[in-house]
Structure 1
Amino acid sequence: MKKTLFLLFFSLVSISNAQSKYTGFFELSTPKKVWVIFHPFKAKKAFRISEEANKVSDSIKKTNVLDKDASGGQVDAFRHAFWMARLRQELGKSAARSLGKAHERENYKTFKKRKLEDGSVPDEISSIMDLHNNEQGLALVVKDEKVSQKELIIRIINAIKSGKMKIIKKDSKGNFLTCEGIVISPKSLKGKWKNNKCLIASNPKT
């Protein structure tokens, strides 16, 4: 019992210290709180890697290497794959995967509260996409593998351009499309977790 209480206390302190610039443990979603409690010694490192993934993705978005789409596009796929690969490198596959799943459970709660994630309310198809790309990222490295950030970026970009990841089908104007290529009305998507967006391979032009 004492050991359990100690781990819980350590978890709260770890995540609060790690996120002092942004938010505290008690402002995390329930799924992420649970992850932290079960991974008290990995929480601070996980937060650092999450920041790294966002920064690298933002840099990639400013180039012409991928499609510049961070909400359902190749940059979105890149961010998830990079995040999972780095987490696996430093925390191991199981901890990385469980944090990715916690994030998707958080997205469902975000949908219920109508908060924005990367400029849009998350939905089921986005979650399916993220989980697929998470697994692709996990497959690119093993724990403690000495892969430089540059090499990892190249691996992920190659995986995206070879179609191993998933993105959401859109037209050149950014409108969501059905699998038949029909434009989906934004109004029809409001308030719906399940919708008729379409997942496609991450290399639609090849």
Structure 2
Amino acid sequence: MKKLLPIIFFAFAISINAQSDFKNFLKLSGPIKRWVLFHPFKAKKSLKISMETNKVADSIRKTNLLDGDAAGGQVDAFRHAYWMARLRQELGKSSARSLGKAHERDNYITYKKKKLEDGVVPDEISSEMDLYNNEEGLKLITKNSDVSKEGLIFRIINAIHQGKMKIIKKDKEGNFLTCDGKIIPKETLKGKWKNNKCLVASNKIDE
């Protein structure tokens, strides 16, 4: 799914100019705007963690530790689990979970506007996958834990290989599959929030 949080949220969180803050704030989607309003002192730290998450996930994508698939695959699952785990470690479970849910509500707005998310319009199954992996990430750590980032990375990778997270079922060519293994024609997915994509355990790849 898409890089975590809109770029405009990043600009808002780090801006030091009050007028610029206000203009950027007005451009936020409703769900993210509400999260910032309720967590004004955590916005900047969440920005830092979100940027860190994207950087770490991009690095993992370039290795053979996972499947390299950042849009519905193991790398996508990793990104959401790492994001939630780091947010919980720094901000607490409730704030982390609420930001994750705000992000998914923002995805639905993106779908309604037909904007692209990693080259694919967001859909219901992708949102379900993200929310599931968010919850799994929250389980892997506690607030103020002294677990290192490296330790957390491998904790998440191990969980993915153990099938504790969810990915979207695809074949080796990257075609989306139904739960009974049939290829879903790309044209049938265009503009649809609900479709026949299938969630599977995160260790079930190329099936």
Contact 1:15 1:43 in 2 (8 A): no
**Within the alignment, does 1:45 sit opposite 2:41 as a pair?**
no
CA displacement at 1:28 relative to structure 2: 1.9
Whole-Å separation in 1 of the counterparts to 2:171 and 2:13: 43
The 1:154/1:137 distance shift into structure 2, 3 A limit, reads: same
Give the secondary-structure state (helix, strand or coil) at the position aligned to 2:12.
helix
**Aligned residue pairs, count:** 191
> SS of the residue aligned with 2:167?
strand
Map of 1:126 onto structure 2: 126
**Which whole-Å CA distance do the structure 1 matches of 2:113 and 2:145 have between them?**
39
| TM-score for the superposition, normalised by structure 1 | 0.89
CA–CA distance in 1 between the matches of 2:12 and 2:101?
Answer: 21
- Aligned match of 2:14 in 13, 18, 27? 18
Q: Cα 1:72–1:149, aligned 2, differ >3 Å: closer, same or farther?
A: same
Runs of 4+ displaced beyond 4 Å: none
| Correspondence 1:148-167 to 2 at 5 A | 148-167=148-167
RMSD: 1.7
**C-alpha distance in 2 between matches for 1:89 and 1:159:** 18
* Equivalent pair of 2:13/2:47 in contact (CA under 8 Å): no
Gaps of 5+ in 1: 1-13
- Structure 2 gaps, min length 5: 1-9, 17-22
Structure 2 match to 1:179: 179
1:127-159 per-position Cα deviation (integer Å, ceiling 9, x unaligned) = 000000000000000000011110000000000
- The amino acid across from 2:123 in the alignment is D
Verify the 8 A CA contact 1:18 1:44 in the aligned structure 2: yes
Where 1:167 maps in the other structure, the secondary structure is strand
Deviation at 1:201, TM superposition (A): 0.1
Indicate the SS of the match to 1:164. coil
SS of equivalent residue, structure 1 residue 24: helix
Given that 1:19 and 1:47 are in contact with CA atoms closer than 8 Å, whether structure 2 keeps it comes out as no
Shift of 1:161: 0.2
**Aligned amino acid, residue 44 of structure 1:** K
Aligned-pair distance for 1:15? 6.5
Mark the structure with the bigger radius of gyration: 1
Q: Determine what percentage of the aligned residue pairs are the same residue.
A: 69
Q: Distance in 2 between matches of 1:50 and 1:116?
A: 19
Q: Give the corresponding residue for 2:76.
A: 76
Query: In 1, Cα distance between the equivalents of 2:36 and 2:108?
Result: 19
Which structure is higher in RCO with an 8 Å CA cutoff and minimum separation 6?
2
Displacement of 1:118: 1.6
Q: 1:73 to 1:19 in 2, by over 3 A?
A: farther
Moved more, 133-142 or 23-32: 23-32
CA distance in 2, matches of 1:168, 1:17: 32
